[in-house]
Structure 1
Amino acid sequence: MPANNKRVRSGWVALGVLVTVAIITLCLRWYELSTLAVNHQAIRGWLDGDGLYTYRDPGTQTGTTLPPALAILLTPLALLPLHGAGWLLALAGTAALLLVALIVAGPVARRHGQRRTPFVLGVAALALLAEPVRAVIGLGRPELLIVALVAVDLVALRRAARIRHRALAGIPALRRLPISRRWSRPGTSHPGAAHQGTSRPGITRPRPGPFRRIWTGGSWAGLGTGLAVTFSATSLLFVIYLVITRQRRAAGTALATAAAVILAALLVAPAETLAWYGTTMWELDRPAPISDPGNQSLAGVMARLYGFPAPPVLVWFSFGILLLAVGLIRARSAHTEGDEVAAFTLVGLTVAVTGPASTAAESLWMLPAVLILADTGLRRHRSARLPRQARLAGTWYLVAAAFGYLTVVATPAWSLVWNVPAATMILLVNILPSRHASPPLATTSPTRRRAAIPLPRGG
């Protein structure tokens, strides 16, 4: 029987790999790697001695929008043929999608009593069918890698929160001991062993090394966000979120990482770095006109409503600041309630809505929003302790999740004309729920009453 199960699992894995390869092939054929083709030629011209941002596509007159650090990272792809580079970037994006699904959907599987691996693979498969993922893979864009960098910080923030809650719920005398005595006293195993009754006399545990303490303690939080800032300037809003939620260490790590990478890019390519941060980054219509129907940001919607190539600056600025404030306030509330995934998703949606350009690739944050809606709806619908109205609200959350997924899977031309993706993202910024799966983070003084469940179990 175990041998049969192993063969069945191997068959499913082989089928999944074949289907994934087929989807990637179709995406590359549909979108024809148009964005990567521009970046490919721009980097090749840069290697030949021309400026990185002087190249313009002969047909569309669009130029590359790669920041210097990302252009340096993608330089080896310019040495390959276009389709070879597209396949490598597509495989890297698929791996990043699996990592994000593991980080975001793993706790959801645990809360619903499901096996994590099949659940995560199913969520990744559904995400692979969505238009934002198809566009990123088919156009040859790096947004999946950027989202994965931001999502990696979720792991560090969860671990740091777990350490804080363990410290608040631990034995006071044990917390006052030095680290070496906590881990090497005979008769004890680890700080939580006294609660579990698993102490083993005579066994000493070695003190963990510094790198292991940094990894398990989550002190590297902010590293991924800092790298994302150098690859996409709009990711700076995640650093602002870390500041307003008083996660100062993570915010400092992000800013230090971004500064170090920008300084390194300045040393490697000084002319391109100065050109990017001086002029090119501010050319908002460089990839496409702001009024293009594919631009589903607030700026694109207003430009089309007014019939101008760009939106009225004061009107866009006023509504953009309002949406920005709503998104950050709701993200801070989600962080206070312990749902870091919802907080990051709200920040990502706010970036997509308030930024000057938001194509299908920038709307990737709608996918975790759909998962949050489905998770909230199932939990409310199945809970017998909630009143009938709350369970009915769970049904509506499930309907909203289904509508949101249909929006990101099928994006016909009429939906872009009627600005359906933009309206959906604006609505999600205002209604996306935060889940009470874990107690609020320890931001108050320890003199208050401790939480009943000291160990957070993810967002």
Structure 2
Amino acid sequence: MPVIQRRALRAAQNRSVLAALGALVTLALISVTLSRYGLSTLAVTHAAVRHWLGGDGLYSYRQPVTQAGAALPPALAILLAPLALLPLKAAGWLLALAGYAALLLSAVVLAGPIARRHDRRRTPLALVVTALALLTEPVRAALGEGGPELLLFGLIVADVVGLRRALRWPADHGSAPHLPLRYRVRRSWLDGSWAGAGTGLAAAFGVTPLFFLAGLFVLGQRRAALTALTTSVTVTLAGLLFAPRETVTWFGDTLWELNRTESLNAPGNQALAGVLARLYGFPAPPVLVWLAFAVLLLAVGLIRARAASTAGDQVTAFTLIGLAAAAVGPMTTPAQLIWLLPALLVLADGAVRRRAPARGPDPSRFAGRLPAASMMCGYVLLVVAPAPLLTCDGYAFTLVLLVGALPWRPAPPPVRFGVSGRRAAIPVPRRRLGPTDS
């Protein structure tokens, strides 16, 4: 066998061994996480859905010890109904694997442009980002408690792909009704006309994604916003068709029970409402004070998100909306702080961009040290997750700080599909041919 073929075979075998080792380590980490957190959220949902399938109400179930009830929309309850037929651990494993897949695909979407800008392959970087994210408290809590946060996160990040494709596709490509259906479906995928469907599904399956639905209008993405609104309404009406009593109960009563899972002043609530409730010593925050600060913080987040979107940084725009939603929502547990991870990625990318290659005491050499130090400190705190970070409202203050100070990155001019991206060998101004030119 030639030397080149032997080297290629050896490299393929090494990649296979590394892939198998990475899969085993990932499964071990997921197993430890499930044992540590005990599927606390999924246990309530699992029992409530079984209670519902047995003929009783979905939202009338209360856990005997904590008196916590299910706080999920009927559409999501219908989607998770097959898991109620399985044992709790089997359902937890399936949900954890689905959440890990969503996290991996989200890492490909978020880290892909960074790898492409530095002429690197996006798959290794996405795997590294996923491995680092798997060690953080938001991901551990989402997997271990059995919540749908990673799935909702993946649906929203999917719309970033659609918006990128819509930006790169020529606006005058027109329609082609004469083409076969498979070509029209492929063309719809390429031109990003489906952007907004992921946010619409997430808004039908959760409450926090509603901020992203409104954020699409603020960002000026009206087509994607209308798609998201149509998708969310369609899925909600389907839930009304299959579960009319639960849908009416959800929108009429359960949605407004802010302390359904736990009290708003619990240390685990890192939203602005929890901070104010603990500050005033009440079970719930003063409504007017909470709304005043929440509206101000949300306005700052949406304004900065629109500025980031105008600059071409859709990832930072979505991240700012997610951080603002986590800050102003009534209940934000560590499992719902998933948007801190894209914020760390943005800080890391900004630090790399600002690093000057020149030597010497140039002040620009130190321009990227502050984002790099912030990213490193933030990541270490998310991995360690010390108990004082909850009692001192560390996550809440981090959300407020990032909403007001997270920088965005100017994007390069988009390369449209069908337009050659090759540069001229001699980049000089070209003169139009006049009538006297031959």
Q: TM-score, normalised by structure 2?
A: 0.90
1:325 to 259, 284, 299: 299
1:78 to 84, 91, 96: 84
Report the alpha carbon displacement of residue 440 of structure 1 after superposing the two structures with TM.
Answer: 8.7
Are positions 1:14 and 2:28 aligned together?
no
**Cα gap change, 1:426/1:390 in structure 2, threshold over 3 Å: closer, same or farther?**
farther
1:338–1:440 CA contact under 8 A, matched in 2: no
Identity among equivalent positions (%) equals 56
Are positions 1:123 and 2:117 aligned together?
no
Which residue does 2:74 correspond to in 1? 68
* Alpha-carbon displacement from aligned partner over 1:63-117 (angstroms, at most 9, x marks no partner): 0111100000000000000000000000000100001000001111111232211
* Alpha-carbon displacement from aligned partner over 1:366-400 (angstroms, at most 9, x marks no partner): 00100000000011014559x94444221111001
2:167–2:414 CA contact under 8 A, matched in 1: no
Query: 2-side partners of 1:234 and 1:395: how far apart?
Result: 33
2:168–2:415 CA contact under 8 A, matched in 1: no
Q: TM-score, normalised by structure 1?
A: 0.86
Which residue does 1:155 correspond to in 2? 161
Query: 1-side partners of 2:154 and 2:357: how far apart?
Result: 32
Which residue does 2:368 correspond to in 1? 394
Query: 1-side partners of 2:356 and 2:80: how far apart?
Result: 47
Which residue does 1:271 correspond to in 2? 245
Report the alpha carbon displacement of residue 415 of structure 1 after superposing the two structures with TM.
Answer: 1.0
Query: 2-side partners of 1:299 and 1:441: how far apart?
Result: 44
Report the alpha carbon displacement of residue 213 of structure 1 after superposing the two structures with TM.
Answer: 1.3
2:196 to 218, 222, 231: 222
Which residue does 1:237 correspond to in 2? 211
Query: 2-side partners of 1:79 and 1:207: how far apart?
Result: 37
Query: 2-side partners of 1:179 and 1:51: how far apart?
Result: 47
Query: 2-side partners of 1:245 and 1:118: how far apart?
Result: 32
1:436 to 396, 401, 410: 410
Report the alpha carbon displacement of residue 179 of structure 1 after superposing the two structures with TM.
Answer: 7.0
Query: 2-side partners of 1:152 and 1:68: how far apart?
Result: 23
**Cα gap change, 1:383/1:275 in structure 2, threshold over 3 Å: closer, same or farther?**
farther
Deviates further, 15-24 or 106-115? 106-115
Query: 1-side partners of 2:362 and 2:296: how far apart?
Result: 34
Instruction: Say which SS state the counterpart of residue 438 (structure 1) adopts.
Output: coil
* Alpha-carbon displacement from aligned partner over 1:415-443 (angstroms, at most 9, x marks no partner): 1111111111111111111111324999x
Report the alpha carbon displacement of residue 255 of structure 1 after superposing the two structures with TM.
Answer: 0.5
Query: 2-side partners of 1:281 and 1:389: how far apart?
Result: 52
1:156–1:218 CA contact under 8 A, matched in 2: yes
* Alpha-carbon displacement from aligned partner over 1:275-301 (angstroms, at most 9, x marks no partner): 001110110000110000010000001
**Cα gap change, 1:408/1:274 in structure 2, threshold over 3 Å: closer, same or farther?**
same
Query: 1-side partners of 2:358 and 2:164: how far apart?
Result: 29
Are positions 1:362 and 2:336 aligned together?
yes
1:132–1:408 CA contact under 8 A, matched in 2: yes
- Structure 1 counterpart of 2:329, one-letter code: G
Which residue does 1:199 correspond to in 2? none
Which residue does 2:235 correspond to in 1? 261
2:271–2:327 CA contact under 8 A, matched in 1: yes
1:312 to 286, 292, 312: 286
- Structure 2 counterpart of 1:394, one-letter code: G
Give the number of aligned pairs.
411
**Cα gap change, 1:138/1:276 in structure 2, threshold over 3 Å: closer, same or farther?**
same
Query: 1-side partners of 2:129 and 2:336: how far apart?
Result: 19
**Cα gap change, 1:225/1:134 in structure 2, threshold over 3 Å: closer, same or farther?**
same
**Cα gap change, 1:208/1:61 in structure 2, threshold over 3 Å: closer, same or farther?**
closer
Query: 2-side partners of 1:124 and 1:325: how far apart?
Result: 31
1:366–1:408 CA contact under 8 A, matched in 2: no
Which residue does 2:316 correspond to in 1? 342
1:172-183 mapped onto 2 (5 Å cutoff): none
Unaligned runs of 5+ in 1: 168-174, 185-205, 443-452, 454-459
1:153–1:224 CA contact under 8 A, matched in 2: yes
- Structure 2 counterpart of 1:211, one-letter code: V
Which residue does 2:430 correspond to in 1? none
Which residue does 1:297 correspond to in 2? 271
Unaligned runs of 5+ in 2: 1-6, 417-422, 424-438
2:356–2:364 CA contact under 8 A, matched in 1: no
Query: 1-side partners of 2:340 and 2:200: how far apart?
Result: 22
Instruction: Say which SS state the counterpart of residue 261 (structure 2) adopts.
Output: coil
- Structure 1 counterpart of 2:255, one-letter code: M
Query: 1-side partners of 2:300 and 2:231: how far apart?
Result: 28
Are positions 1:50 and 2:56 aligned together?
yes
Which residue does 2:325 correspond to in 1? 351
Which residue does 1:142 correspond to in 2? 148
Query: 1-side partners of 2:182 and 2:235: how far apart?
Result: 30
Query: 1-side partners of 2:30 and 2:208: how far apart?
Result: 27
CA-based RMSD: 2.3
1:407-422 mapped onto 2 (5 Å cutoff): 407-422=381-396
* Alpha-carbon displacement from aligned partner over 1:116-145 (angstroms, at most 9, x marks no partner): 111110000000000000001100111100
1:337–1:438 CA contact under 8 A, matched in 2: no
